[in-house]
Amino acid sequence: MPSARLIVCLDVRGARTVKGTRFEGLRDVGDPVEMAAAYEAEGIDEVVILDIAASSEGRGPSLEVATRAAETVFVPLIIGGGIRSVDEARDALNAGADKVCLTSPAVARPALIGEVAERFGAQCAVANVDAARAEGGWEVRTHMATGRTGRDAIAWAAECVERGAGELLVTSVDADGTRGGYDLELLSAIRAAVDVPIIASGGAGTSEHVVAAFAAGADAALLAGALHDGTLRVRDVKVAMAAAGLRVRSTEEVAA
């Protein structure tokens, strides 16, 4: 059985990590490379670095932070934000990414998912699904949740997998930054629709929220603000995961 992964997300604007609530009210929370190194030392399994301004500015991700992070940490890196082509995906991989996260440009041009998967492998293509509750389900949002697409999020998640995505990063727009827990109904619905790993994102505030995400079908849980401000610690979350019967990396060290 694969280990249940704990992932930290560093939303980057310029060369700084920022965090807000429901994608609004962004505040500076630190240097992303220093933060990535600290989380690696605490036992984080993967690091996501998203250039949150890239799609809105019509460009690929700025890779200066990614390059420095890749030189500093050794856990897998997922790099994303604004990737529009195979060439930009290659640039991110050459900068040190292990996977690329395909965001708003993939919604605008879904063929991008298949192009990246065919060139670099499905395991490299992580499709981002930002989902907001709408009448009867969830709607796909783009551009930091400001873009209304009219697309059904469950159907879009299934399409991403059909096009070659090897993993989904599923973020609840409604729960993001609230610390009230992941949208478990959303996770369960997407779990029923796809057979690839799902990263749960948006809303974690306690270790119990993380454990609940795995029970709802997630293969990995992404944390941001609750780690950044010290409300949660990587070690404590992993202890709770192990106590719930989940297999975690370095269980013996975590439980010591």
Residues making up the chain, counted from first to last? 256
Amino acid at 217: G
Which residues does the annotation mark as catalytic? 11, 130
* Three-state secondary structure call for residue 8: strand
Sign of CA dihedral 147, 153, 155, 160: positive
Give CA–CA dist 82/88, Å, rounded.
Answer: 9
Quote the strand ranges of 14-159, DSSP E. Answer: 16-21, 24-30, 46-51, 77-80, 99-102, 125-134, 137-142, 147-152
Bridge partners (DSSP) listed for residue 5: 220
DSSP string, 141-185: EETTTTEEEEEEHHHHHHHHHHTT-SEEEEEETTTTTS-S---HH
Identify the CA nearest to 67 among candidates 43, 94, 27: 94
Bridge partners (DSSP) listed for residue 16: 13
Neighbours of 191 (CB within 10 A): 18
Give CA–CA dist 195/191, Å, rounded.
Answer: 7
Rg (CA), the chain: 16
